[in-house]
Structure 1
Amino acid sequence: MCGIFGLAVARDHAMEERDWSASLAKLFKLSEKRGKEAAGIAIALRDEILIHKDSVSASAMMTTSNYTSLVRRASQWFGRSDLQASALAAVGHSRLVTNGFQGIEANNQPVSRDGAVVVHNGIVVNVADLWAREAAHGLAPRADVDTEIIAALIQKHRRHGQDIRGALRAVFADIYGEASIAMLMADLDSLILATNTGSLYLCRAASGTGLFFASERAICAQLMSGPDAIPGFVGGEIIHLKPGQGAVVSLGTLELDIFAVEPRGEVGPAAVNGLCTPAIEPMLNTQRRIEEKSTRLREAIRGLRRCSRCLLPETMPFIAYDAEGTCNYCHSYKPWVRRPEADLEAELAKYRSRDGSPDCVVAFSGGRDSSYGLHLLKTKYGMTPLCFSYDWGMVTDLARRNQARMCGKLGVEHIWISADIKRKRANIRANVLAWLKKPDLGIIPLFMAGDKQFFWHASETIKATGIGLSVFCTNRLEKTDFKTGFLGIAPTDEEMRNRPSSLKLKSKLDLVWGYGSRFLANPRYLNRSIPDTLFAAFSYYGLNQTHLFMFDYVEWDEAEINRVLIDEYDWECAADSPSTWRIGDGTAPFYNYIYYTVAGFTEFDTFRSNQIREGMISRERALEDLELVNEPRWKAIREYTGLLNIDFDETVRAIECIPKLYMR
C-alpha cells in the first residue's frame, strides 16, 4: 500500500532550515518503498496550505524545480517570526496506484476537497455506494481516487455541527476497507490522524517541540537514531496509533489528543502517556488558503484578459485590444449572411431523384452538424442522400453508433472507406511521441493530418457513383485561426473553408515554411508518417473540389439541432462532456486538452466567440459555459492514448510540464 508521513516542528525545536528539507527527503525516501507511482506533499503555514504532487516517484519528484521551489518557499518560516505562531507542519504521500490514473493530478495525493487536505493509505472499497448515497445531498466526486470521499464526508459532518472527532467517527463507521489518514484543515490549526488498521506510528521528540509520523515502526526507529536521525528526535518515543484510533495534534502547542474513532479503539487517560489532551483543537482566526498547482493554474486562466465583446483571451495568437478592450478579431469579423433558402431549393432541384436513387453524396462524420444536415436533406428537402464516411482510425465508437441511428431510421445508404487503421494509428503515435519530446503548439494539427485523405476519397466516391452533387454540413462558426496562429501565420479573411486549394501561393508557402522549419528542428518527425502526411496535404490543399454547404443557406441553431437529434433519433451524447460538439472525433479531446493546459483556451472559446458575434448567445452565458466544456475529457483522452499505445500518465505529465503562456 501507499506510504504516508508527516513532520511538525515548533520554533524552539533543534532544527535549522537546511535540516527541514533534508528531513522531508528522508521521510520520502523511506516511505517510497511502499509506492513509487506518484508522490505529493502539503505544507501548512499560518495562512496557507501549499500542495505539490507529481505522477512520478518521490525520488524523481524531489529533483524537480517545482518541488524545490515549494520547499524553499515554506522554509521562509525559519526566518520570519510572523509565520512562527504555529508549528511548521507537512504531510507527504508516496503512492501505489489503486483507484484512478496517476497521470491525472486530481487523483494523486494529497487530495484537497472542501477545505480538507488528506493523505490516505488504503482502499475504500465501498466508495461507489457512498457517492451514490451522497448524491441526494449534493455531493459528487471530482476525481477517481477513493480518498476524496473521506474528505467530502468529514467536511459534510462538520458542516452539520460535528466536531472533528465526531466527524471522523461518523466517517469510519461508513467506510468499508482499509484507511490510515492524515489531514490538514483550512480552518483548524491542527494535524489530524486516524487509522482502522494501526498503520500509523508517531515519534515525539523528548523536548516536546517536534513530532513526525510514518506508516511503519521501522521507519520511525531509523529516523530516531544513528546517521539518519532527524535533528531533535534522538531519544524520543514512538507512539503507536492502534486500529480504531485517531489523534489531534495542536500545531500551536504540539499537544496530542488520542481518541477512539471505532469501538475497538477505545482509549483511556493512560493511553495517551500523560500527554496533554486539548478538549477543542485550536481554530484559526481566518481560514488558510489552499494552494495547489491545479488551483493556481485555474485561477490564472480565469484571470486572463479577454475581449470585452467576445471571449478571446490574451494568449490568442496575433490578438490585440483597442482602448475599449475589443479585440481585432471582432473588428475584422464579417457577419454570417445566409444565402436565400430558395437558392438551396433551386440547387437541390437540379439533382433531386425521381425514382428514389441516390441524388447527393453527403460527407458524414457522425457529428451533430452532418447528422442534422442529413436529417434535413431527407425529411425537409426530399433528397435521397448517399452517405460517405472515411475511417482513419480516430472516428469514435459513439460516432459510429450515431451514424447507425441516423442511417437506419432515415433509410439511407452508407458507404464506408476504411484506412489501414493499424498503420494510421502507428503514424499518429510516431508524431505524438515526437511532439512530446519537443512540444510546440504550432504543430499540433499534425496529429490530425491522417484524416485529410477524406477529401481524396470523397472525390473518388463522387466519381465512382456518378452523382454530381456533394454536400458538406460544416458551418462558419468553427473557424479556428489560432491553430495556424501558433505556427506564426497571421489570420486572413480568405475563405479557406470552402476550397482549401484556393489559398494564395504565399499562404501555402507560409504553411510549408511553418511546418517544415519545425520538422527540421525535431528530427523525430522524420519518421514513417511522412508519405501519409504529404498525401494528406495534397488531398486538402491540392484537390480542386466544389461542394454545396448546407449551412450557407439554412439557419444553424444549436438548441434546435440538439433537440432534433436527441428527441427524434435518440442520438447519443458523450458521458464526459456537456457539449454535443466534437464528440465523434477521438483526437479533439486530446488536442483541446493541450491547448487549454498550455494556452488557457480551446476551440470552444473561438466557437463561442463567433456565436457571440452572431448574436446567438450572450457573452455572460458563453463565459459560464466555458467552465464546463473546457474541462479535460479524461475518459476520451485515456481512450485516445490507449488506441495509440502510448502511456497515459507519462503523456499527461509531459503536457502538464509545458510552460504556460498565461503564467509568464
Structure 2
Amino acid sequence: MCGIVGAVAQRNIIPILLEGLKRLEYRGYDSCGVALHVDGKLQRSRSTSRVTELQAQIDQTGLAGFTGIAHTRWATHGVPSSANAHPHFSRERIALVHNGIIENHEELRAELSAAGYAFESQTDTEVIAHLIDHLYQGDLFEAVQQAVKRLSGAFAIAVFCRNEPHRVVGARLGSPLIVGVGKGENFIASDAMALAGTTDQIIYLEEGDVVDLQLQKCWIVDSQGTSVQREIRTVHAHSGAAELGPYRHYMQKEIFEQPRAIADTLESVSNIMPELFGDKAYGIFKDIDSVLILACGTSYYAGLTAKYWIESIAKITVNVEIASEYRYRDSVPNPKSLVVTISQSGETADTLAALKHARDLGMLHTLTVCNVATSAMVRECELAYITHAGVEVGVASTKAFTTQLAALFLLALSLAQTKGRLNDEQEAEHIKALRHLPVAISAVLALEPQIIAWAERFAAKENALFLGRGLHYPIAMEGALKLKEISYIHAEAYPAGELKHGPLALVTQEMPVVTVAPNDTLIEKLKSNMQEVRARGGELYVFADADSRITASEGIHVIRLPEHYGLLSPILHTIPLQLLAYHTALARGTDVDKPRNLAKSVTVE
C-alpha cells in the first residue's frame, strides 16, 4: 500500500527517492509523486502512472534537490488523479505525504476552509498539510507536534517547509515509519526496504513519535512531547525484488519458489520444541488453555487451517477471528488464551489494531507468524516465528501462505508437546513429513501443463464454485480468493456438505466447480457431494490424490496429485489452486502481479 520516502542530504536526492519508490512498488499503488526544496521554493512532479513514468517526467524537467519527500498512493479518499496524488502543498509553503486515514478530516476541512484555505483535492491528506501551515509560526517541528494532536485515525507523515531548507519532520500513529541514519544526511521511509543500499542504520519510530531530521541531527519526541532515544538497529533489508529469470511474472516465480521457501522456513527445525517460537514459549504454552487467531485475507485462511491442526493434535480450543471485525464487537476475553497474529508484512493495520484490542482486554500472551523480522507485529508480540519466504512481490500471496501453514503446523506440534500430547514416535513421523515437503511440492508443480489446459477453459467463465471438506475447506477458500484476485472471475468457496443448503441453486453447465479431494476420512462424503453437482449438470474439476479412486468421465475432469500427505495435505493442495488462478489470469490478459484495486501491504483500516 502507500509508500513514503524522504531525505535531507548534501547531494541530489532524486535517485534515492525514486529508487525507494521502486522498491515499494510491490505494495500496490495508483499514483506517485516527488516534492523537493529547490532554491527557496517547493517543486513537485506527480503521475497517475508507474514510477518509471514519474522518473521520465523528472528527467525531462531536470528536477533536483537536497531536501524532499516522495510517495506512492493507493486511493482511499478521492479517485486516482494528479490532483489527489501526493505530495500535497499548502500555500506553496508546506509539502506533505501521508499514509493512513484521517477520520476527522471533514471537521478539519470545514474549519480550515473557514480560515481561508482552498482545497485542490478530495483527499484527507491535504487537510493535514493545511493544518500544519495554519499552525506554523517559524518552527516546523513545533507545528507538526501541535497538528498531530488534532488528528484522529491512523497516519504516518513526512513534511518539509519552504522556509526551512535541510529539514524534514515525520510523525506516526498506527502506520509504520522508520528513520534511516546516515553520515551528514538522514532519511525517512515507511519501510526499511526503501532505503536498502542507502543506509542500514534504522530507527523504528514508536506510536506517537515525532522526528526532526536535519543534516547532522535526528531528534525524536514521544506522544507527550518528551525527548526520547530510540535504538538504532543494523538492518540488512533486501535491496529489491529478485530478477524474474525465466518466469513471466513474479507470481509464477514465487509459486515455483515454494520448495525453497518451505525448506528455508523449516531449516532450523531438527526437533519439536516450544523454543522455536521464543525463549519464553515453554512457560507461556504451559499456561494457556486456548488459542485466539487474528488475521486478514489469505492469512485468515491459514488461521482456519491451523484451527483444525491445533484442535486435532494439541486438543486445545481455537477461535479464529477476522482481524478487521474483531475489535468492533463485544467478545469474551480469556486471559489464559494465546493470541496468535498472522501477517506476511507484519504491518497489516487491521491485525495490529486487533492485537492491541486483545491486549487491552487483558490477553497478554501474544505470538506472531510473520515473514518480516523487523516488522511492527514482531516487535509488538512476546513470541514470534519468522517464516523465510523471502520478498513476495506479487500482490496475490503464494509462498507467504504456504510458509505460514508450515509454521502453524509447527505451532500445533509444539503446543501438543508442551501439553504432553505428542510422543517421540509421533514427533519423528511429523518431522519426517515436514522434511519431505519441498520434494512433494516440486512433484505437484510438475502438474503445471495439465493445469494450463484447465485454465484455458476457465478463462471464458465469469463464475466458479470451490468445494472442500474439513482441513481442506480453508484451502478451497484460498483457491477461490486467488482466482477472483487476479483473474476477476467471481468465485466462492463452500464446505461441500453445504451445497444442498443453498449454493446448489447456482449450479449449471456454465458453472465450473473446483473440488479439493484428498483421500482422507471424508472422501466418500465428498464423492456424494460431487454427484449432487453432476446431477444438476455442473462440471467438476477435481484435484484428487493418486489413491482416491475418483475417475475422469463426462463432466468430471481429474488431476491427480502424486501422493496423499495426511495432515500436511492442505499445503500440497494449495499449489495447484495457485497455478490454476495464475494461468487463468494469464489467459484473460489481466495484470497478474498488480491486480486492479488491490495492494500488497494493507496499512490502512
The normalised TM-score by structure 1 is 0.33
The normalised TM-score by structure 2 is 0.36
Q: Which entry has the higher C-alpha Rg, 1 or 2?
A: 1
Hey, which of these two has a bigger chunk of strand by percent? 2
